[in-house]
């Protein structure tokens, strides 16, 4: 999982489609509700999710690493935070760019990093956007959950 989270972060930072998000504002987080004080919006947080395993035949199993990728945007005006405008990237656009950047991108984990090859990558869920904040700032966030599937064989 560690290599996967680092590879996702590097992929999103390198993707020119997401050039409107500063590299520093794409980060691995302990909690999706905690946003570092140095972060500006829009921002993207990457969080580990559950890892279900499924036993197969012939001493092999399927590992499904789930990763939560959350986009954040400050609330300026009703509707624009979600939909966006000509000069403001809305949450739906950010999520669409994350979807395009990560979906079926198997090259995230290289064998040189010690991680097994990814067999498939696909988003399994997209949560509704949520508003939260305090008296100083209101933020809207939306999460897309990706599943990274790999088949492994148990050595004899």
CATH code at 146?
3.30.2000.10
Question: What is the per-residue pLDDT for 112?
Answer: 38
Number of folded domains that form the chain: 1
DSSP calls for the chain? -HHHHHHHHHHHHH-GGGTTS-GGGEEE-S-TT---TT--SSEEEEEE----EEE-STTEEEEEEEEEEEEEEE--STTHHHH-BTTB--HHHHHHHHHHHHTT-GGGS-GGGTPPPPSEEEEEEEPPPEEEE-SS-EEEEEEEEEEEEEEEE---
Range of the domain at 105: 2-153
Residues 80/72, Cβ–Cβ less than 8 Å: no
Q: What percent of the chain has pLDDT over 70?
A: 92
pTM: 0.90
Digit-coded pLDDT (tens) for 9-61: 999 999 999 999 999 999 999 999 999 999 999 999 999 999 998 988 778 88
């Amino acid at each position: 999982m560690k290599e996967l989270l680092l590879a996702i972060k590097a992929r999103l930072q390198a993707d020119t489609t997401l050039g409107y998000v500063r590299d520093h504002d794409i980060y691995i987080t302990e909690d999706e509700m905690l946003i570092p004080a140095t972060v500006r919006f829009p921002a993207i947080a990457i969080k580990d999710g559950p890892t279900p395993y499924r036993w197969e035949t012939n001493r092999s199993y399927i590992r499904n690493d789930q990763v939560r990728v959350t986009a954040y945007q400050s609330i300026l005006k009703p509707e624009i935070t979600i939909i966006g405008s000509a000069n403001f990237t809305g949450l739906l656009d950010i999520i669409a760019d994350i979807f395009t950047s990560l979906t079926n991108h198997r090259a995230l984990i290289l064998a040189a990093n010690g991680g097994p090859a990814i067999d498939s990558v696909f988003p399994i869920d997209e949560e509704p956007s949520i508003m939260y904040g305090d008296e100083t700032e209101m933020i809207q966030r939306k999460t897309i959950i990706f599943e990274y599937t790999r088949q492994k064989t148990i050595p004899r």
